[in-house]
Amino acid sequence: MSSSGAEPSIFSRIIDRQIPATIVAETDRLIAFEDIAPKAPVHVVITTKDPQYRNVVELAAGDPALLADLVELARQIASERTGGQFRLVFNTGEAAGQTVFHVHAHVMGSSAASDTLGEDSLGAL
């Protein structure tokens, strides 16, 4: 259990290696792993190791440097996997499709230069 008494999020359990994931990148404050239900040919989730921020708005207000680090990690992953062209999606709030209330971003793109992401790839993430 977390200090607040709530059950740890699925992301906290991945960070703690209680749930297996294909980890793509990791720093002292961030972890990136392949999405288990990808909506694009390349679909990686990046989250903070500290669960205190529920969404990107809280992260931007509380630790803008960590948000900048998250965006930089997204750029690095996209550089390696999508030729640097990517979509970075933060869902904020249940009505916007957020299902895990531990701040995270979806890095989405295509590994093939001829493929593009249509608007339909913005469905439930």
What residues act catalytically? 104
Q: Quick one: which H or E segment has residue 23? A: strand 23-26
Which tokens is 65 given? 């440097």
CB 121, CB 35: distance < 8 Å: no
Residue 13 to residue 100: CA distance in whole angstroms: 12
Positive or negative, the CA dihedral 97, 2, 29, 10 is negative
Decide: helix, strand or coil at residue 17: coil
